[in-house]
Structure 1
Amino acid sequence: MHHRIRPLRLTAVTLTAGALSAGLLVAPSASADPSPALTSAKAAVAGTDSTPSTIAAEWIAGELSNGLMVSSSGPDFGLTIDTGMALSTVASQGGTVTAINNSLEPRIAEYVGDGTKESYAGALAKSATFARTAKKNPTSYGGINLITRLEERTANVPADPAAEPQAAAIAGRIFDKSEFGNYANVVGQSYAVRALTLAGSAEAGAARDFLLKQQCASGAFRLNFDKADVPSQSCTEGVAGSTADPDATALAVINLVESGDKSAAVVGALAKAGTWLAARQRNSGAIRSAGDGAQINTNSTAIGGYALGLLKNRDAALKAALWVRKNQPVDKYKCRTALTKDTGAVAFRRDRVTGATTTGIPAAARDEWRRATSQAILGLQFAPASKDKLRIVSVRKQARAGERVQFQVYGLAPSESACMQVKGDFLRVKGKKTGDKIVRKLQLPTGNQRRVGLIKTSDDEARTSLRVRN
């Protein structure tokens, strides 16, 4: 599941559809080039298909309202940042990243707190990370020095650790300052490590060391910290509060890789985490979440697959991307459904697709689709490309009306959705994991004339023809 940095005190979760304001695109576009880590990882994987991440990005960009994700209660800044971070990996979305930044920056205090009574560590870390991604300065973002604020929320290393063992135990740990309580967790800590490291902060090392304490012996990271007065602040395998969490693990990996920290401790931690994530992955490519309501879903699978891709585990990243792509319905042309207008959106689980094909995405479920899609964009970066040019071949030159005739389809990418059709008949098909040809039969209509067989994907089509006789 998607982990929020803090409870929703100022935001809500039920979102309504909106349109991206064209006026926000006047400013020069932020770069949406993949990070060096992603560029390197994709080069190692090789042969990826940009289509699924591109159409997912196009869909979620259309869900923004004046550059923000908005609910009936106001903007959801956390989801807005998740969306902007995901879109920054899609080259065509630089303008949307700029639009998000232009709307988010003037209102960032609403998300991170006023800096006196309210100051939210995870939100500060995530905001600083996005600011840098959007090519902005996190030390002066919306008039706020996010790095200084984050350093204030990061526990200091005591001058004499031996004399202050508890202060030494929590050194580098992030804390919220809030009348609502302290909800800082390992996900926020991982963003803090990334933000502080890239800013060259003197507190980056302590924050990193505290994050690494949250890695369990298995290689997984837990989600929540111990209480601040517990002498040992480290994950203890098998003890309550140290449950392995695949989402926290994936985000720790992503943020550590993107921090650029090449220390031996980080390199070792990444190797262990990658091994654990790969072992957690099922043969289907899916990854199951943890905690209450644990289930297989596209969120955990996508960010887990993205983390594995950044670690250059080619096979695991491809498998995860294939499973996520299966949950991206593309029902076009004769195969049109109520979901066609939302082409590109990714479902949290397959059962959500089944219902939405007849009703469309329910208003109350739109938030879930947005969250699933924002993270799916990342995992889909490693979707494998097709082996061949898209084409369809009829095995016969002519046939009688009403006969079911075999057609062969080449060039579908693994798990890619397509519609096969001839006048009067159609089939939904998906590319094989192997990328090999697909063979299906379609029933020919009446009439003595040449008929066209088509295969249509979200961005391409091919055709063949044969003569039909009554």
Structure 2
Amino acid sequence: MTAVALSAGALSAGLLVAPSATAAPSPAMAGTDSTPSTVAAEWLAGELTNGVIITKNGPDIGLTLDAGMALSTVPRQGVHITAISNALETRLADYVGDGTKESYAGALAKAATFVRVAAKNPTSFGGRNLVTELEQRTADVPADPAAKPQEAAYAGRIFDQSESGNFANVVGQSYAVRALTLAKSTEAAAARDFLLKQQCSSGAFRLNFAKADVPNQSCTDGVAGSEADPDATALAMINLVESGDTSQAVKDALAKANTWLAARQRGSGAVRSAGTDAQINTNTTSLAAYAFGLLKNRGPAMKAALWVRKNQPVYKYKCRTALTKDTGAVAYRKDRINASTTTGLTADTRDEWRRATAQAVLGLQFAPASNDVFRIQSVRKEARAGDRPQFRVFGIAPGESACMQVKGDFKAIKGKTSGGAIVRKLKLPVGNQRRVALVKTSSDEARTSIRVRN
């Protein structure tokens, strides 16, 4: 509800980004509402156990880092960020590998990014130098590129070292660019240049690299393996911005990606994911919202954030449901809300809500605020008991949930996309007296009264 601005993918990977650690949370655009990101962050912080998110399959460090980077952009969450950092130190080898036989490039890049966000030193964390280890997983530029054309083709690309295989991809590459650039690594430029090769001429980034022995390591529109991926595109945009690289090549890449992603956005504000199971969801849309916001693309950012907010059920007070105890959580899709309204979140469904909310904390920072004063008005001055007079509610932010109530009756309402008054009828109780009608949001309350006569 509060019109105070604050400083946003793939669901299965639990990917997230946040502003760089060298600066405080950056303000979002004017006219945004801090409430949805704040309540989402509060819920997400409550899902931590000793600094770690424990899923039905055990501790999930990747998801935990997502949560930490999300919380770092919201005020008064420092204690949780510290707890996550401390937990990561004790579990570092489990996540990034032992540094000898096993070393995972994407995890190293993401861990180094979080460590910097947590205001710690990634060159000396948990007894290890994450930047040096990431450099070791980044292909060097050969001394004689002409003599070694294949090595030159994949120079700057990250590779896993693992008995299980190499699973590094474009998302990990974007984190590597950010981590290496902020560390002023000599390998940052090569990593950036290889990332930019993964952008097709359309402006989109693909998700997966070509095989290492393929001469052409660049994305090519229309070629198998170069399918456009909105999550990878948004993450590349975000990490390039947060890397602080202001080269012309990066500026041009961001402009092209911004245009492509905005064209993919639907009229509702939502963005569909890619792949065989592509669907509209809050993860992809939240990433897009944050990417647009960082680039000051105001319209698409606010539209995307509004759509995400509509998937954040806030059923409180008389309108409470089984989801009320998880107020702030964001659903992956609307059908998840419908399925959980009576059952609440279960062990089988909670993990998906955690992943969706970790991304939504960031995207929701660009949710539009109301441009009106929050209030409720009775259309009539008095009415008979049992009548259903109209009440008008003003100042509900677009997509915001609220509860209108009078003794004996209530209505759940949601702010209009276009703004304006919400008109609903409430049944009046018996009794010759003045009755109070209320409207409550997650953070505000307004009231009016009406004379009731039997």
What is the TM-score with the length of structure 1 in the denominator? 0.92
- Asked if 2 retains the 8 angstrom alpha-carbon contact of 1:186 and 1:224, the reply is yes
Aligned length: 444
CA-CA distance at 1:427 after TM superposition? 0.9
Counterpart pick for 2:344 among 350, 360, 366: 360
Per-residue CA deviations over 1:281-331 (Å, capped at 9, x if unaligned) read 001000000002100000000011100110100000000010000000000
Name 1:227's counterpart in structure 2: 211
Partners of 2:20 and 2:157 lie apart in 1 by: 32
The farther-off stretch of 81-90 and 379-388 is: 379-388
CA-CA distance at 1:107 after TM superposition? 1.6
Counterpart pick for 2:302 among 318, 323, 327: 318
Partners of 2:14 and 2:402 lie apart in 1 by: 40
Question: Where does 1:27-176 land on structure 2 (aligned, <5 Å)?
Answer: 39=26, 42=28, 45-176=29-160
Give the direction of change, closer, same or farther, for the CA distance of 1:211–1:37 in structure 2 (3 Å limit): farther
- Asked if 2 retains the 8 angstrom alpha-carbon contact of 1:37 and 1:310, the reply is no
Give the direction of change, closer, same or farther, for the CA distance of 1:66–1:238 in structure 2 (3 Å limit): same
Residue 274 of structure 2 is aligned to residue 300 of structure 1: no
CA-CA distance at 1:4 after TM superposition? 6.0
CA-CA distance at 1:106 after TM superposition? 2.2
- Asked if 2 retains the 8 angstrom alpha-carbon contact of 1:247 and 1:303, the reply is yes
The farther-off stretch of 433-442 and 320-329 is: 433-442
- Asked if 1 retains the 8 angstrom alpha-carbon contact of 2:21 and 2:118, the reply is no
**Dislocated runs of 4+, deviation >4 Å:** 3-7, 31-38
Partners of 2:434 and 2:20 lie apart in 1 by: 47
CA-CA distance at 1:105 after TM superposition? 1.7
Residue 6 of structure 2 is aligned to residue 2 of structure 1: no
After superposition, the CA RMSD in angstroms is 1.8
Name 2:439's counterpart in structure 1: 455
Question: Where does 1:344-423 land on structure 2 (aligned, <5 Å)?
Answer: 344-423=328-407
Q: Percent identity?
A: 73
Question: Where does 1:216-295 land on structure 2 (aligned, <5 Å)?
Answer: 216-295=200-279
Letter in 1 for 2:123: T
What is the TM-score with the length of structure 2 in the denominator? 0.95
Partners of 1:339 and 1:5 lie apart in 2 by: 25
Partners of 1:419 and 1:428 lie apart in 2 by: 5
DSSP-derived class of the 1:69 partner: strand
Question: Where does 1:417-456 land on structure 2 (aligned, <5 Å)?
Answer: 417-456=401-440
Letter in 1 for 2:26: T
The farther-off stretch of 443-452 and 274-283 is: 443-452
Name 2:3's counterpart in structure 1: none
Partners of 1:456 and 1:130 lie apart in 2 by: 37
Give the direction of change, closer, same or farther, for the CA distance of 1:47–1:33 in structure 2 (3 Å limit): farther
Partners of 1:303 and 1:67 lie apart in 2 by: 24
Partners of 2:238 and 2:271 lie apart in 1 by: 16
- Asked if 2 retains the 8 angstrom alpha-carbon contact of 1:37 and 1:258, the reply is no
Give the direction of change, closer, same or farther, for the CA distance of 1:34–1:335 in structure 2 (3 Å limit): farther
Name 1:181's counterpart in structure 2: 165
Letter in 2 for 1:316: P
Name 2:311's counterpart in structure 1: 327
CA-CA distance at 1:215 after TM superposition? 0.3
- Asked if 1 retains the 8 angstrom alpha-carbon contact of 2:312 and 2:330, the reply is yes
CA-CA distance at 1:78 after TM superposition? 0.3
CA-CA distance at 1:38 after TM superposition? 6.2
Partners of 1:33 and 1:399 lie apart in 2 by: 58
Partners of 1:445 and 1:422 lie apart in 2 by: 8
Partners of 2:83 and 2:50 lie apart in 1 by: 8
CA-CA distance at 1:33 after TM superposition? 9.7
Give the direction of change, closer, same or farther, for the CA distance of 1:6–1:326 in structure 2 (3 Å limit): closer
Partners of 2:202 and 2:57 lie apart in 1 by: 41
